[in-house]
Structures are given as structure tokens and as C-alpha cells.
Structure 1
């Protein structure tokens, strides 16, 4: 009996030793695996982890994508580290050289892959929507077109107009893959309103523009000059004209009016265009047009609410992106003669001379 018990004890000890050895070897394999780096392709590997994905399924997904080499060891590592509950769903970009431990760390951090697009200052809505639709977010152009004039969406976004024109703030934006058309447009409007609040805090005494009027004037200032230092003075000219009841007579509004009227955008303005009545044509209508003609940046919004102190009523292009400013019609006519009539007459003579 004693011999039998002794033999059983020996077997138990040997089994425990074998199990302990197996467990130790497994732990060593898991540790070595977790610390062994994998070099990923230059463009990286993107893996989308659905909500509710368990550690075992996730491990296989990562192995199938080539992010790790052994799904079973990854699963064991996740279990050993009790990392399962910490792993977050989303789209992840794995790039460079990563160890499985770093892969798990990234999944636990929730730092999902992001997509960026940039909208320059002064674009119209019809120019901005293709940028959004053409980004890696793959937004639907038709859905975007519906939203820009959807009364309920505009009301909820805080746009005080029947169109989103003027309220899509020019900036670089970052979104995750799940961003919807509504979320993207709402964020752009939110940025516009943020910049408005900053400018409104510095509003000049006597400037009575409403929210919509501010963006309308800012959009005109934006289209009239690409020189940031000129914007407060351009805004001053328009404020002076508004105060004195003089038509703004700004060409960008004519271009916008003709686009709305004829459905075709053209920068070439004719005498007929200037004389064609339209709410957005400031050559035929006194005051500001009904809404913005483009989407202004921060400098133009600030200029609309805090114009320079000046007596100017006119400005004329020097044809280099800057302008001559004038307080009187006589000064204006002289500037037109020099910078429009004589300037282009000289250009024509120069071209004619070069052709001979």
C-alpha cells in the first residue's frame, strides 16, 4: 500500500513538474512573441475593428492583416495582460515596426486612424462640397448638396439663413472614418461661429451688423482682396458706403448674382451684367446682398466687425493684388485712369510691339 502511494506521489510530482515546465515554456514564448517586432509595409496596414469584437476574433483579424505573426500567441498575451476589456473598436492604422505589445497598446489607447481635408479661404459652397466628397472620408456629394439648404439641419447647426453659404469655415479638418455628412458640415459651421464669437468680442463701437450681415460683408471683403493687411480698410470702405446709403458696387457680388441667375459661373463681367437687377447685384441694389457670396476666413470676419477708421469710399486694383484707396470721386477717377485705362492700354501696346 505504501509503495502504491509513493508511486502515485511520484507521478503527481512528475506531472506537476511537467505542467510547470510547459507553463513556463508557454510564458516564455508569449513574452518573446510580444517583444518581437514586425516591420509593416511602407503605406501601413489599416484594420477596422467592429464594435463587440472579442479578443480571439481580433487576434485572428490582426494576423490575417499581417500585423502580427501568430493569432494564438496574441490571444494568450491579451488574456495574460487582462487587456481584453480595454481594447476599443474603430479603424486603426498600424505602421512602421511594431511589437505585438505595441499593437495591443494602440488598440487600448483608442487612437483610431484619422482623415484630413483642407478648405481654402474664399471658396463658394459648390467649390467646397467636391473637396469633402473627394476626401478619404468618402462623403456622399448628393447628401451634402441636400444638407446645405435643408431648413431643419441649418436651424440645428445655427445657420441664420436658407443656405449654408458663408458658414463653412476654411480650415484643415480631422475626422475619423465614421464621420457623417451632417457631422462634417456641422463642425465647419461650428468653427465659423467660434470665429464670429471671437471677432464679436472685439466688435468696434457703432458696428451694428447682425450675425448674417457680418458673414455677408466678410464674404465680400474676402473676395475683394487676398491681402490680409488690406481687409480692415476694404471693410471700412463698405461700412462708409452703407452708412451713407451708397451702393456697394462690388464686382464679386455681380459674379455671384449672375451665377444664381444663369447657372454658370464666370469672372468676366459685362455692362449688361452690371445693369441686370438681382438681390445679390450690388450695382442695382442698395445695401448688403441677402447673404454671403463665399466662405470667409477669420481675418475677413474680424475686419467686418472691426474695420479701420478711414474716410475712403472707393478702391481701385493696382493689378498686383493690392489697391489704391480714395475718399473722393475725383481721386477714384484718377486712379481708374492710371491703374485700369492706362495700365491695360500699355499692356496692349506691349503685346502689339512684341508681335511685330
Structure 2
């Protein structure tokens, strides 16, 4: 055999051997479990727009994958290169790269439940989301307090988003929404519930109804009383009486809870309904569905007064004389 042919044959055999070795290594990599871990799973966060190299680095960093250059070629070979999702996932440990890629393709993102109670202010609502890692508190409060942002969301009578951050349980996956998107979602939910509840014939605007509902929300936690309290406030509005609602005083003073003093009653704020006539300029908290329903469907009542019975309910009275008697009985 001539030397040239022998060289070509040797080169071909070397290539075949190299390919075989490479394929053997690749198969060994693809079907060998990752680093041995004692935990059954690890939480992995893959940012939106991550490359295959970045995803591999994340998986290696979490101890799910052995460092190698085989991850990207394997993902392409499995037709999964463009189907690996972004988000936060819980992935099992001790998996082969093949199983890991297939598992990540089908992985469902971790959901975080955030419950916003009824009756919270902008700052309190922002704190709920910030404590769960869903939003930046300062940016949330800044945007929620912006008249321009309120106008963009269709709240033409509102100076901010107070009262429109609907209380409910919300579910999130990572990456979480930006504060602007989060606030838009809360306001849209509030307006959707408003439309669902529907209002009876009333002279109050939507903004005034949210304002009244927020006062009802803070006045009682007893569901059966909300329509009655709404009825009392409508009676007062109709006859020109002041609402004289303690929660409005606290809101105007920037306080949450606590007793009302004589000086508080005399405080000069736009929310002191012991001094102003009619409704305050805006909501004092975010009302829930029941409070909105009460504001839009008040009970028919002869009562003009109510006082706490210190058990979560109130005594309702038609006249000031009856009311004073109830005050002496329950507020001694």
C-alpha cells in the first residue's frame, strides 16, 4: 500500500475513533446523573432572555448539572433549545441532563399567593406586596400617589389610587410584574367588581361611591350591618347632616386605629366629617365587595345614628335622644 493511502486510512480511522469517543462521551454526559444531592429538589430562577450558556451556569450553580460544554448541544439535539422557559421552578435533584431538560421544558412555575385584606390604605397595601417580594414599596407608593397615573387609569375624579387597590388574593410567578402593571391590575379588578355589583339609582358618582364604601368598610366588620350603615349615611347626606365618621378623622390625621380625642374632633383636615359637610374628597381605604355592594344598595332605614356596642356590632337609633341613651349604655 502506498504511503499516501496509508496516511489517508490512518487519518480516517483517527477521525472515526475521535467521533466515536466524542459520541461516547456525549452519551455518557447525557445519561449520567448530576452531582449527588441529599435534598430531593432545588429552587431555580431563570431570568427572562437567558441564553443556554446562562441557563447551564444557573443549573450548575444549583448543583443540578455537572460542569460541561454538553448542555447547549444536547438542548439543540432534543429540539428544546428555544423551549426552556423563564421563571422560578422547583426541579428534582440527581437527574440526568436529558431528564433535566425534559423536566424544565414541562416545569410549572412556582406560584406565590398574596392576600390583600379589606380596608387597607395605599401604604399598607404596598407593604403587603413588598413583604412578599412582589414589588418595590417606594415605587409602588409613588405611582399610587400620582394624580397623572390615576388619570391614565381612567380615575378622572381621583387624586390618587386610594380606595381603588382591590382587596383579594392574587397569584404571581417570577419574574414578578413591575409596580405599574401591578397597580393597573388592582385598579382594573376594583372597577370590574364595581361594574359587577351594579348600582341603584343614586346621585353619587363612581368616585363618591368608592369613597362611601371605604367609610362603610372601616366602620364595621359585621357583614349584616354594612347596608344599614350605608342607609344611615344616605339619610344624613339627604338631610344635610354631617357624616361624623371617626375613621375619616384618623385617615385625615394619618393614623391607623386608636381612640379619638376632643382635639381630633376639631382637627382641620379635608377628611374630618365632624366639620365638613358631605363626603370627604376621596376614599380612606380600599373597600371590598360587600362594602361596595352596601354603598350601591343601601338598606332602607329610619336610623340616623349608630354607636358601637363593643362586640363588633352597633346600636342604631332614629333620634338623637335614642342615640344618646345608647351611648350612655354602651360607651360607659
Length-normalised TM-score, structure 2: 0.83
Question: CA 1:245–1:50 in structure 2 vs 1: closer, same or farther (change >3 Å)?
Answer: closer
| 1:340 aligned onto 2:321 | no
Q: 1:126 aligns with which of 111, 123, 128?
A: 123
Alignment check: 8 A CA contact 2:44 2:59 kept: no
What is the alpha-carbon distance in structure 1 between the residues aligned to residue 53 and residue 235 of structure 2?
Answer: 70
- Report whether the alignment pairs 1:32 with 2:31: yes
Supply the distance in 2 between the matched residues of 1:71 and 1:339 (Cα, whole angstroms): 76
Number of residue pairs aligned between Structure 1 and Structure 2: 328
Q: 1:247 aligns with which of 236, 242, 248?
A: 242
Q: Tell me, which stretches of 5 or more residues in structure 2 are unaligned?
A: none
* Residue number in structure 2 paired with 1:287: 278
**Ranges in structure 1 where 5+ consecutive residues have no aligned partner:** 342-356
Q: Does 1:151 align with 2:147?
A: yes
Counterparts of 1:1-356 in structure 2 under 5 Å?
25=24, 29=28, 32-33=31-32, 41=39, 44-51=42-49, 53=51, 55-69=52-66, 71-88=68-85, 90-97=86-93, 99=95, 100-101=97-98, 103-105=100-102, 107-109=104-106, 111-137=108-134, 139-141=136-138, 143-159=139-155, 160-175=157-172, 176-200=174-198, 203-204=199-200, 206-259=201-254, 267-341=258-332
TM-score normalised to the size of structure 1? 0.78
Native 8 Å contact 2:213 2:287 kept in 1: yes
Whole-Å Cα distance in 2 between the matches of residues 235 and 97 of structure 1?
57
CA shift in 2, pair 1:12/1:271, >3 Å: closer
Q: Is the deviation greater in 264-273 or in 163-172?
A: 264-273
Higher helix share: 1
CA RMSD of superposed structures (Å): 3.4
Select between 101-110 and 127-136 the one with higher mean Cα deviation: 101-110
Q: Report the counterpart of residue 346 of structure 1 in structure 2.
A: none
Relative to structure 1, the CA distance from residue 239 to residue 334 in structure 2 (aligned partners, 3 Å threshold; closer, same or farther) is same
